[in-house]
Amino acid sequence: MASVSYLGNKTTHLWGNGGEINPAIYLGSSSTTSNTNQRRVLYLANPTLGAAYGSINTSDDGAVAHYNGLLLSVQHRLSNSFTFNANYTDSYCISDADFGAALAAPNNSQRFNRHAEWGPCVFDTRHNFNTTLVATSSMKRGSRWMNRLLSDWQIAPLVHVASGQPVNIITGKDNSLAGINNGNNDRPNQVLSNVFAPNPVCNNGRTPCVQYVTKDAFLPNALGTYGNLGRNSVRGPHNVNFDVALSRLFRVTERFSLQARMDAFNVFNHTNFVGAISPAGTISAYTTFSNNLGSPTFGRIQSAFDPRILQFSMKLFF
């Protein structure tokens, strides 16, 4: 059975951070981070009363999101001693806010401009492929003992391939001098079309260390300006995983059976760096690498998911 499906979803009135409504205004060369409160909107309107107000963050339901996905599926139901499933999703999720279960800090990067955050959803996975097979051996043409030895073995491979998760690159300083979230929302200017490092490996001898994104691709936004880099515009590493299980059920008596099983996780010992979706489906984009342009470890991946793991087990059924 094969199927082709399209799924489109538009979300309106999405709760999120409404933005900073008392930002600082850039007033030229006299503007610094030390006089942020004296440049805020309410202070400039009325210095006497405005001095009592600092950052004012709001929450509202004005955010929107769009999702479009093409889903392909192939299924062979259990017959002829095997079952098979494969599916592939080509999708795109875009929004102007990511709800992170908390509305404490402003997530906008520009004053009174929510649409500047229009970009990929933090959980957006463009390509996602999964396939599973469960097959049982059956021998009926050899000798009696050969048939017993080679029959009733069950093999079950599982393949998962997914593209990388979005990562939001920030300048790390309040170069816009807007006083929004202490400048942690400022994004830099992208000056190179290819943001990925040409020589990715940097081995410190103990842990995986890969220079995934190059710092040369970005420049901090100039004072009083906003960078041209969009929200969540850089992709983390992809994920490729191949697991397989081999088992055999031995009938001891009518009541008792013994199952011998071997599981191999990440059979090919492929390195999956933290930042992709794990085989369990959990999103780890927040721990991919330092996304702060001012950090000495910017763009470096320093951890990975599990290597090859072999597991042997036996189970008694009664």
pLDDT: is 281 or 237 the higher one?
237
For the chain, the first-to-last Cα distance in angstroms comes to 37
Range of the domain at 168: 2-8+69-95+109-317
Instruction: Report the pLDDT value the prediction gives residue 104, as an integer from 0 to 100.
Output: 61
* Mean pLDDT over each residue of the chain, to the nearest integer: 87
Mean pLDDT over residues 144-168, rounded? 87
Whole-Å CA distances, 188 to 111, 129, 206, 270: 16, 33, 32, 33
Q: Is residue 59 part of a domain?
A: no
Confidence of residue 202 (pLDDT cuts 50, 70, 90): low
**pLDDT for residue 284:** 44
| Whether the predicted model's global pTM rises above the 0.85 cut | no
Is residue 17 situated within a structural domain?
Answer: no
Question: For position 61, what pLDDT does the model report?
Answer: 85
Domain annotation covers residue 45: no
Among 49-58, 138-147, 148-157, 309-318, whose mean pLDDT is lowest? 138-147
Q: Is residue 227 part of a domain?
A: yes
- The pLDDT of residue 201: 67
User: How far, in Å, are 97, 110, 171, 271 from residue 178 at the CA level?
Assistant: 19, 8, 13, 41
pLDDT-based confidence at residue 138 (cuts at 50, 70, 90): confident
Look at residue 293 and tell me if it is in a domain.
yes
Residues 267-292: what's their mean pLDDT? 64
Does 61 reside within a domain? no
Does residue 18 lie within any of the structural domains?
A: no
Mean pLDDT, to the nearest integer, of 173-200? 89
Q: How confident is the model at residue 228 (pLDDT cuts 50, 70, 90)?
A: very high
Number of separate domains in the chain: 1
pLDDT band for position 97 (50/70/90)? confident
- Per-residue pLDDT at 159: 96
Which tops the pLDDT comparison, 254 or 75? 75
Q: What is the 3-state secondary structure of 105-166?
A: CCCCCCCCCHHHHCEECCCCCCEEEEEEEEEECCCCCCCHHHHHHHCCEEEEEEEEEECCCE
**Does 144 reside within a domain?**
yes
More confident residue, 157 or 274: 157
Identify the band that residue 143 occupies on the pLDDT scale cut at 50, 70 and 90.
Answer: confident
Q: pLDDT exceeding 90 applies to what percent of the chain?
A: 54
- pLDDT at residue 139 in the model: 75
